[in-house]
Structures are given as structure tokens and as C-alpha cells.
């Protein structure tokens, strides 16, 4: 596929390492992989538990030439690419939770963290960090939400080299489509894979809790909620299902 691989036994975070490489002027695209992370980072300042040898800790560094166009909806498109890769590896029921959590059979199987350096209005770099639970043992109780792994879903261990290849191919394909056609052409595919489409959920954004019916996403990937009879859009926050 032609991307340089930077392989590590241990790093603080593959995203941090990718950001350092960009800072040193290393040319993108490249991928940083590590067997474990001592300071794995999740969204919203959370830690990403990263034991050795059991999962995939992957960061892809890319160059963006046309910021505003290419960044709109990008984090959702990455979700689609990860979903597609897991689906192609045989995971039966993979879906997305806005903005980019990847779920299998109702439990989280992968997480995505995008970080940007440079000028988002023009040329910049994005580090696309992806953590996929592969063979993590059930004994891992430090994780604060229901989770699953490829081994759970497939009933057998998986070859992480194969996962690396399938994931990279998927990312390349979706990123290319996104760059050429924009998020508009992927919006319906994203909505079709949203596990909570049409359900009532609560969104916590900052110190607010907003309850509404999930209508979908807009052309920039913002969440559309029906709140008290009118449609509102949100660019960030955390969704929870609301039981009626
Ligand atoms: C989330 O769901 O909160 C996002 C998790 C992202 C984890 C990956 S693992 C590889 C890369 N390096 C990090 O420190 N974080 C991302």
C-alpha cells in the first residue's frame, strides 16, 4: 500500500509519536504501530487502556491540502473505514455511534482519536489514531464501559497483520473518496450504519444535556437531533441512549 511503517514495542501513545514525527518533518503518509502504550489517549481526555500484544494501536499521519473541505466529516469517514474493515474480516454486526465509536453487537470494539497540527484553513496534518480490541482478555476490568473484541465476535483469534492490511486498504479507499467527493457522498452510508438512528438519546455537550430523536447527520457530519419539535445540529458531545 506504500505507507512507511514505524514499529514500536512500547511508546507513550502512537498518536503522540506520530505528532513528534510530523514535528521532525517526516513525510506523510506513514503509520505508527506499537505493541503497547503507556499513555494511550482516548477522546474527551480519557485514557485508552493499552495492554501488550493483544490489540491494535495504530496512528496514520496524513497531509491535508484543502482543510475546510477535507476536514468536514472526516472523523465520521474514518469510522466508516474501520467499520468496513471489521465487516470484511467477518464481524457480523458492526455499526457506528456518533461521532466515531465503532460497536459490535452493542458493545464498543474500536475507538478513534483525530488530532490536527498546522493551519486547518489551509495545509495541515492530521493524525488518525485507531485502537481496535483484538484478543484482549476478559480479565481487563479497568475499562469503564461495555466492550468486546474481535476474538469475542469471531470466536477465534485474529492475525493482526491481516487486520493491519485490511484496515489500511479501507482507510485509503475511504479517505480518497472523501477527498474527491466530500462527505456529502458518504453521508447516507454513514446514517445507514448508525446504530441508534431514529432513537431518542441524550447528548452531553459541555455542561448541557440535550434530549432528542436522532435524525442523522448534516453535510459536515454534525449530529441532527429533533428537540421539542425542531431540528438542531451539534458539532460535539457524547451520546447516551435514553430509555423510555
Ligand atoms: C476513544 O474512543 O476514546 C478513542 C480511542 C483512541 C485510541 C487510539 S489507540 C492508537 C492511538 N493512540 C492513542 O493514544 N490513542 C489512539
Residue 30 Cα to ligand 1 midpoint, Å, equals 17
Q: What are the residues whose beta carbons fall under 8 Å from the beta carbon of 225, sequence distance 6 or more?
A: 201, 203, 210, 212, 213, 214, 215, 231, 232, 233, 234
Which cell is 51 given?
495492554
Q: What is the CATH number of the domain that holds 23?
A: 3.30.930.10
Residue 224 belongs to domain with CATH number:
2.30.30.100
For atom 16 of ligand 1, the residue with the nearest CA is 129
Cβ atoms of 72 and 182 within 8 Å: the answer is: yes
How many angstroms separate the CA atoms of 39 and 228, rounded?
A: 42
In this structure, the answer to whether residues 125 and 223 fall within a common structural domain is no
Residues 133 and 185 in one domain: yes
Q: What is the overall mean pLDDT for the chain?
A: 92
The reply to whether 20 belongs to the active site is no
Cα angle for residues 140, 141, 145 (degrees, 5° grid):
110
Q: Residue 107, exposed/middle/buried by CB under 10 A (0-12, 13-18, 19+)?
A: middle
| Same domain as 131, residue 231 | no
**Same domain (yes/no): 99, 51:** yes
How many domains is the chain partitioned into structurally?
2
Omega before 29 within 30 of 0, i.e. cis: yes
pLDDT at 140 over 70: no
The model's pTM is 0.95
In this prediction the ipTM stands at 0.99
Do 82 and 14 share a domain, yes or no? yes
233/146 same-domain check = no
For residues 94 and 150, membership in a common domain is answered with: yes
Q: Measured between alpha carbons, how far is residue 14 from residues 35, 80, 136 in Å?
A: 10, 21, 18
* Same-domain check for residues 213 and 95: no
Pair (121, 226) in one structural domain: no
Q: What is the pLDDT of residues 73-124, one digit of tens each?
A: 999 999 999 999 999 999 999 999 999 999 999 999 999 999 999 888 878 9
Query: Residue 139 pLDDT > 70, yes or no?
Result: no
Range of the domain at 211: 200-241
Q: Pocket residues for ligand 1 (CB within 6 Å)?
A: 13-15, 37, 40-43, 46, 48, 57-59, 101, 111-113, 129-131
Q: How remote is the CA of residue 130 from the centroid of ligand 1, in Å? A: 5
Q: Could you identify the atom of ligand 1 that is nearest to the CA of residue 43?
A: 3
The span from the CA of 226 to the CA of 46, in Å, is 29
The answer on 226 and 152 residing in a single domain is: no
What grid cell was written down for 20?
A: 513528534
215 and 98 share one domain:
no
For residue range 28-66, list pLDDT tens digits in order.
Answer: 999 999 999 999 999 988 999 888 878 999 999 999 988
Known active-site residue 224: no
Atom of ligand 1 nearest to the CA of 37: 14
Question: Among 10, 41, 61, which residue has the most ligand 1 atoms within 8 Å of its CB, making it the best to mutate?
Answer: 41
Annotated active-site residue 242? The verdict is: yes
120 and 223 belong to one structural domain = no
Amino acid at each position: 500500500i506504500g505507507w512507511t511503517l514505524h514499529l514500536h514495542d512500547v511508546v507513550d501513545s502512537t498518536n503522540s509519536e506520530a505528532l513528534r514525527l510530523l514535528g521532525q518533518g517526516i513525510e506523510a503518509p506513514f503509520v505508527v504501530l506499537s505493541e503497547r502504550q503507556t499513555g494511550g489517549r482516548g477522546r474527551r481526555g480519557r485514557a485508552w487502556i493499552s495492554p501488550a500484544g493483544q490489540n491494535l494501536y495504530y496512528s496514520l499521519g496524513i497531509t491535508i491540502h484543502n482543510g475546510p473541505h477535507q476536514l468536514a466529516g472526516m472523523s465520521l469517514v474514518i469510522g466508516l473505514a474501520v467499520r468496513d474493515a471489521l465487516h470484511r474480516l467477518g464481524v457480523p454486526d458492526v455499526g457506528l455511534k456518533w461521532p466515531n465509536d465503532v460497536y459490535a453487537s452493542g458493545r464498543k470494539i474500536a475507538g478513534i482519536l483525530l488530532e490536527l497540527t498546522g493551519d486547518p484553513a489551509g495545509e495541515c496534518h492530521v493524525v488518525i489514531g485507531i485502537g481496535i480490541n483484538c484478543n484482549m482478555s476478559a480479565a481487563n476490568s479497568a475499562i469503564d464501559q461495555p466492550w468486546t473484541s474481535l476474538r469475542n465476535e469471531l470466536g477465534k483469534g485474529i492475525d493482526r497483520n491481516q487486520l493491519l492490511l485490511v484496515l489500511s486498504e479501507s482507510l485509503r479507499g475511504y479517505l480518497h473518496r472523501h477527498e474527491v467527493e466530500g462527505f456529502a457522498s458518504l453521508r447516507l452510508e454513514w446514517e445507514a450504519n448508525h446504530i441508534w438512528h431514529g432513537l431518542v438519546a441524550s447528548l452531553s455537550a459541555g455542561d448541557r444535556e440535550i434530549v432528542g430523536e436522532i435524525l442523522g447527520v448534516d453535510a459536515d457530519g454534525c449530529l441532527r437531533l429533533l428537540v421539542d419539535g425542531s431540528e438542531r445540529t451539534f458539532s460535539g458531545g457524547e451520546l447516551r441512549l435514553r430509555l423510555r
